[in-house]
Amino acid sequence: MGAPSAALPLRARGPLAGLSTSDRLAIVDRSSTTDPTVRSRTTAIIDRVRAEGDAALFAFARDFDRVELPAIEVPRAAWEAALNSLNPALRAVLERSARNIATVHQAFRPVATECAPEPGIRIGRRPDPLARVGIYAPGGRAAYPSSLLMGAIPARVAGVGEVIVCSPPGPNGLPSPVVLAAAALAGVDRVFAIGGAGAIAAMAIGTATVPRVDRIMGPGNAFVAEAKLQLVAEVAIDAPAGPSELLILADKTANPAALARELMAQAEHDPDAAVIAVLAGEPTAMAALANALEQEVLAQLALAPRAAIVREALAARGAIVWVDTVVEAIAFANEWAAEHLLLVVAPSVQATALAALRSAGTIFVGESSSVAFGDYMTGANHVLPTAGAGRSYSGLSTLDFVRWTTWQEVSPDAADRLSHDVGLFADAEGLPAHAAAARAWSTSASRATDGSPAV
């Protein structure tokens, strides 16, 4: 195993096969490590919203946000003012991002389909937009207008009837001006100055002011994530979410400086962020690449405004490991199921590797495909599964803003052909009324002149 760097704290470093059981578990298991009282405190918040409605939301603003709200709902004039006062250059950036998000999600809209498994049987399936959805836009440590755009614009593209937004209030009782500007730009219907678990509960349960929604989207802190999980029986959610993640899968063709920039960018999100580089190739060469990568991270840390957060994240869940082949790296990547995966391998194996990667939230192909571009501007959605949920969940898309209605039609002739076999099937399950309903359509049964079974 390579010698660890004294200056760069990493949770694990060295050949993947040589990691201790505890080190491997530490980098694979990204389950929440938050305060164990989060669950009970979240339950209390939800119960209070259920019992007190708007009064609870005003109280939470006083207790958690240290502000006396003039109103829960933010007037449309305030969002429009925020948009109009936005720095013109920043407004142009948000508009470009919004256009790309709309273009990408329009291209991937679900479409109605139908088929005929047998003559006379028609089965159809159509996507029906949800009536109302709620978008959570985080506040606190930082405001994320990008997350609002990523939630609201696909909802609009999908045809959702009403889109509401909840975002924590600042000292003036309003969400961040840039979040309000993004809300205006995305064309949402209503905005509420509430945050945390209380906002999730309000959207899931409904209050006098905040309407109940059909689905809640958007990232948040541990309380937001816990509230979504506790309320999932009452409202659909996007996916279980946690701190940001990045897995870099690279070979000898990779530039250590570029890899270091990507590790830094994701680690600066949060002390609980998980970042890992998996290097594939001849062991001695990979150990050298790992050393070069560490030195690049150290150099960039020296100039990083959020260096303390990065160091904490690297020490808790950072790793640089290596394996002998790209195939082994892919196997580990599919097990790890990263939120973001950066693939930097030789062009000759790139397409094969991409096809074999099956559990990442989103894959960035090639060194120039920085994760930052996907976070803000490519148009692909950045609301993605974390903590291994990518093995069964996908990133947010227009599919999340529709429910599917299935319809079926059986002609009288087809009913005749089905009647005997369905009757036998129903008899086998001990359901005589089902059998009778099917056999009534047999040609041996008397029929009314309009083709329906006689009574």
pLDDT digits (tens, 9 = 90+) for 2-45: 444 447 889 999 999 999 999 999 899 887 656 789 999 999 99
Full set of structural domains in the chain with CATH: 12-31+242-379 (3.40.50.1980), 38-239 (3.40.50.1980), 411-455 (no CATH)
DSSP annotation of 187 reads: T
The model scores a pTM over 0.85:
yes
Catalytic residue among 105, 340, 367, 420: 340
Q: With CA atoms as reference, report the closest residue to 11 among 2, 29, 23, 28.
A: 23
Rounded Cα distance, 58 and 160, in Å: 28
Taking phi first (over 0 means left), then psi (-120 to 50 degrees means alpha), and beta for anything else, what does residue 50 get?
Answer: alpha
> Is position 340 annotated as part of the catalytic site?
yes
Q: With CA atoms as reference, report the closest residue to 97 among 153, 143, 135, 164.
A: 153
- Identify whether the C-beta of residue 401 lies closer than 8 Å to the C-beta of residue 134: no
Instruction: Indicate if the alpha-carbon torsion angle 79, 270, 378, 392 is positive or negative.
Output: negative
Q: With CA atoms as reference, report the closest residue to 172 among 68, 54, 81.
A: 68
At residue 100, what are phi and psi to the nearest 5 degrees? Answer: -65, -40
Catalytic residue among 226, 245, 296, 339: 339
The pLDDT value recorded for residue 2 is 44
The pLDDT value recorded for residue 87 is 96
Identify the segments of the chain with pLDDT beneath 70: 1-6, 32-34, 140-142, 445-455
Tens-digit pLDDT profile for residues 391-409: 999 999 999 999 999 999 9
> Is position 328 annotated as part of the catalytic site?
no
The pLDDT value recorded for residue 143 is 79
Place of tokens 């993004």: 182
Name beta bridge partners: 237: 216
